[in-house]
Chain A
Amino acid sequence: MSQNSATQQIYLETIAAAGKRAPAGMPAWISELQARAASRFAEVGFPAAQQEEWKYTDVGPIARAGFTPAPKGLNGVDITGLEGFLFEDLSCHRLVFVNGYYAPALSQLGGLPAGVTVSGLADALSERPETLEAYLGRCLPDASHGFTALNSALLADGAFVHLSRGVSLEQPIHILYVTTDEAEAMLMQPRNLIVAEPGSQATLIEHYVANGEAAYWTNTLTEVVAEVSASVTHYRLQEEGPRAFHVGGLHVNLDRDSRFTSHGIDLGGRLVRNDLRSVLDAEGAECHLNGLSVLGGRQHVDNHTHIDHASPRGTSREFYKGILDGRARGVFHGRIVVHPHAQHSDAEQLNHNLLLSRDAEADSKPQLEIYADDVKCSHGATVGQLDADALFYLRSRAMDEAAARDLLTYAFARDVLQRIGLEPVRLQLERRLARGLLHGRDTKELELA
């Protein structure tokens, strides 16, 4: 038996045990969804490096580590220093998860306008199962990979956001996932569902942090349903602990004239894989994806995007950047599929990587599959070092070489951050990056551009 199937077996047993413990009163459709996912996981197991989609990322270390699903109850642990994870000057609604489970005592959901529901997924399952039944799992592809299947099979808790027709949520929702040292060797599996009914609008911040240095695994999955003319802005801020594994799926379904904007920032984690799939399912949908990875040491971050232009007149924009130091490795695989009837699709994909050390590596793989004839599609990818002309320009203005290098590195990252509309989030990320990349130099005036 290979190591993969050995650990797969352990998870299958866990799934079976979890099924027996399932609380009474759980709707039947949920058990069916979980059972289907369990057999999918039994069938495919963990992805193997021979698969094209996984060739740059060996998930063996995750499969071999044999994490156990975090039990309920670890969300009660006392958290000190939660303030460190909040955004200064950001008025927001807050949903906090500790070690995978909703922590109501740390959350703040007062003052939500009528027509907006924000809660833990487990609570939503018992309170309004019929709404969830209509949406949960709907965005996922049938041929999902093992991580997606595992998340569904062990589905327990996560964030649930529902926006009724025409509602505009003014304040963003900060969804904070804190993992503590109590979760050493454990698996956290948040499952999030965001439903935006026609004409509604909201901004969500999925934020993954560690309160400690435990080795753990987050296998998170988010579904976003944006109905006609809805607008969802989504942030994924990944600041997991230095020994953490993080596998994330973000599945988006876009109806007519809807708009999805995503900012995915990867700063933490040891081995990270993000799959973002967006289906432009009806005319005039728009999808804007921005991504930034700033990595060092032996960090490995793999961003896979898959945009399906499944209807005419859709627009997609991708702008991903990576800064790689030490022995870090950054992967970007951007797949764009324009379906035969998706005329007047407009897709643009850019991926730029900056290598700061000789041992760092960036792999960039665009994959455009275009089956319609009247479309605009472009892509560009670069892997390189700092611009020598810019470096000389700064030095000729009296800046010493080290400072000039740091400044250009920071500016390279800032290019992505400047697309972030929420100023408190942008400023906090800029300061965080400035601390790391500018080695504590004064940045006040930098914030002015």
Chain B
Amino acid sequence: MLSIRNLQASVNDEPILKGIDLEVNAGEVHAIMGPNGSGKSTLANVLAGRENYTVTGGEVIYQGKDLLALAPEDRAREGVFLAFQYPVEIPGVSNIYLLKAALNAIRKHRGEPELDAIDFLELVKGKIALVEMREELLYRSVNEGFSGGEKKRNEILQMAVLEPRLAILDETDSGLDIDALQAVASGVNALRSQERAIILVTHYQRLLNYIEPDHVHVLAEGRIMKSGDKGLAHELERQGYGWITQPAAGTSP
């Protein structure tokens, strides 16, 4: 579904991604872990098409298409979804408006009819129950005044409504209490299927107790330093990243 080959990207002429290779097949869940500042969010944003990240080399093929050639909205319509590490507040735009506009734009792209108000609301209410979000948040401005946990649930709600083929979650678990973490996990697990793939960017092994990954990768200094199965996540939990990022030193913290 997604082939990332030797991807290099920089921000303000500063190289951040220094040659990423990653193969993600339909049906798989990949976890990307790594120390702060290693480039995880940069990778997520490059995949979603953020403008101030300049791709300086490599390619990304998504469902046979050159992903990097597509505008962000076209990527979304083709089924790419990024749950932001820091969801943006948009005063004056209601949450429900954004959900409906997003869903209908995607349906239109697929040649499906737009949902009417009643069917749409029914759909949203089902998903809201799944992520255990307060319904009144639908009628507030996007993320405005939401708590950290509410913002993350809102990202997962959007994901649940839009049903992407490739979902990238950027530290959706950070700062969540156990209830919110479980709500996020149930949103993600409900999406798991043979047609979809999920990339979980995370800092902690904790999330992976709820969402079992097929593959775990360690991103450090702009490269994937190590890949393995879920056992790797446990090893990182015990030993930290030092043994991967400084292999020559041969020490563990």
On whether the beta carbons of A388 and B51 are closer than 8 Å, the reply is yes
On whether the beta carbons of A389 and B93 are closer than 8 Å, the reply is no
Residues on A with beta carbons closer than 8 Å to the beta carbon of B88: 387, 389-390, 393
- Chain A contacts with B in 380-430, Cβ cutoff 8 A: 387-390, 392-401, 403-404, 407-408, 410-415, 418
With A390-B90, A396-B82, A407-B93: A449-B140 Cβ-Cβ less than 8 Å: yes
* B131 shortest CB reach to chain A, Å: 16
Q: State how many residues of chain A have any CB contact under 8 Å with chain B.
A: 30
On whether the beta carbons of A449 and B95 are closer than 8 Å, the reply is yes
Residues on A with beta carbons closer than 8 Å to the beta carbon of B139: 448-449
With A388-B51, A400-B105, A411-B91: A395-B96 Cβ-Cβ less than 8 Å: no
* Contact of B30 with A by CB under 8 A: no
How far apart sit A300 and B198, CA to CA, in the bound complex (Å)?
52
- Chain A contacts with B in 44-65, Cβ cutoff 8 A: none
Residues on B with beta carbons closer than 8 Å to the beta carbon of A387: 88
* Contact of B238 with A by CB under 8 A: no
How far apart sit A393 and B71, CA to CA, in the bound complex (Å)?
13
Q: In the complex, what residue of chain B is closest to A441 when comparing beta carbons?
A: B101
Contact pattern, B 118-141, Cβ under 8 Å of A = 1, otherwise 0: 000000000000000000001111
Residues on A with beta carbons closer than 8 Å to the beta carbon of B50: 392
On whether the beta carbons of B106 and A398 are closer than 8 Å, the reply is yes
* Contact of B98 with A by CB under 8 A: yes
* Contact of B117 with A by CB under 8 A: yes
How far apart sit A388 and B90, CA to CA, in the bound complex (Å)?
12
How far apart sit A279 and B187, CA to CA, in the bound complex (Å)?
56
Residues on B with beta carbons closer than 8 Å to the beta carbon of A412: 92
* Contact of A444 with B by CB under 8 A: yes
Which of B93, B139, B162 has the most chain A CB within a 10 Å cutoff? B93
On whether the beta carbons of B109 and A448 are closer than 8 Å, the reply is no
On whether the beta carbons of A395 and B71 are closer than 8 Å, the reply is yes
Residues on A with beta carbons closer than 8 Å to the beta carbon of B17: none
* Contact of B87 with A by CB under 8 A: yes
A interface, over-half SS:
helix
On whether the beta carbons of B91 and A397 are closer than 8 Å, the reply is no
On whether the beta carbons of A448 and B84 are closer than 8 Å, the reply is no
On whether the beta carbons of B84 and A393 are closer than 8 Å, the reply is yes
With A397-B98, A398-B106, A444-B117: A410-B92 Cβ-Cβ less than 8 Å: yes
On whether the beta carbons of A445 and B92 are closer than 8 Å, the reply is no
* Contact of A109 with B by CB under 8 A: no
Q: In the complex, what residue of chain A is closest to B95 when comparing beta carbons?
A: A449
How far apart sit A442 and B93, CA to CA, in the bound complex (Å)?
13
Contact pattern, A 435-447, Cβ under 8 Å of B = 1, otherwise 0: 0000000001110
Residues on A with beta carbons closer than 8 Å to the beta carbon of B49: 392, 395-396
On whether the beta carbons of B92 and A400 are closer than 8 Å, the reply is no
On whether the beta carbons of A445 and B105 are closer than 8 Å, the reply is no
* Contact of B39 with A by CB under 8 A: no
Contact pattern, B 172-202, Cβ under 8 Å of A = 1, otherwise 0: 0000000000000000000000000000000
Residues on A with beta carbons closer than 8 Å to the beta carbon of B52: 388
Q: What are 15 A-B pairs with beta-carbon distances under 8 A?
A: A388-B52, A389-B88, A396-B48, A396-B82, A397-B98, A398-B109, A400-B71, A401-B73, A407-B101, A412-B92, A445-B94, A445-B96, A446-B94, A448-B96, A448-B97
Known: A394-B93, A399-B102. 20 other contacts (CB 8 A): A388-B51, A388-B52, A389-B88, A390-B90, A394-B90, A396-B73, A396-B82, A398-B106, A398-B109, A399-B105, A400-B73, A401-B71, A410-B92, A411-B91, A411-B92, A411-B141, A446-B93, A449-B94, A449-B95, A449-B139
